[in-house]
Amino acid sequence: MIINTIIFDMDGLMFDTENLYIDVFEDICNKNNYSFPRKYLLGMLGASDINLSKYEKEYPWIKEMFKLTNENLASYYDKRFAVAGSANKYGLKEIHDYLKKNGYKICIASSSRLAYIQKLVANCGFDFQADLILSSKGFCQSKPAPDIFLACAKKMGVKPENCLVLEDSKNGIRAVYNANMRRVWIPDQVPFNEEDMKYVDLQCENLKEVIDILEAM
């Protein structure tokens, strides 16, 4: 089946913002004299609707810390990535230019809020031309449910088998698997174990290497 649509995750895939989120959360916890195991936080990456109920008994303040993190994330972003393009993951412009030159449709499907997605794309330092930008906030189930990727395909008028999704998180890769789409894992914050690798279709180290994958298809 021909691949004609490339779907990008955003945080940790296009931009170095998974690392930012971790730092903001831990900074806010520290300022409030709290501590939350990083391994639990890493397991939540890539999901928009985080179920905190299993942590609330031991960490009754956890919801408030996530609320403060989300409220302050944009201001932390502005300080760390004041220079346009400084948040970009390696190869972002190269893969974008290749896709545009070769007629691929480009989508961004993220668990982040739409305004935040637009803010980051506008600050990437070049004209990133996405055919569709979609946020899962408020309209579909969070990853690893496949909803956001299936919604992308539907809105773009293509079949799931026509899509190649670029993802960095466990929740994201499982969501793509559940959507029955081709998928490329590009590692960021969380290493995959043997069980996680069962859901991986293709793998590369950075966005630029995706060009080689497409050339080989």
* Per-residue model confidence as pLDDT tens digits over 36-62: 999 888 877 765 556 678 888 899 999
Q: How far is CA 199 from CA 50, 95, 145, 191, 207, in A?
A: 21, 23, 14, 13, 19
- Tally the residues of the chain: 217
103 alpha carbon, distance to own chain's centre: 23
Q: Is 80 exceeded by the pLDDT of residue 139?
A: no
**At 201, which amino acid appears?**
D
The per-residue pLDDT for range 141-173, each reduced to its tens digit, is 878 899 999 999 999 999 999 999 999 988 899
Give residue-wise pLDDT tens across range 99-133: 999 999 999 999 888 999 999 999 999 999 999 99
Q: Which residues of 9-28 are buried (b: 16+ CB within 10 A; e: fewer)?
A: bbbbbbbbbbebbbebbbeb
Q: What is the reported pTM?
A: 0.91
136 with 111: CB under 8 angstroms? Answer: yes
Token pair for 49: 């609707």
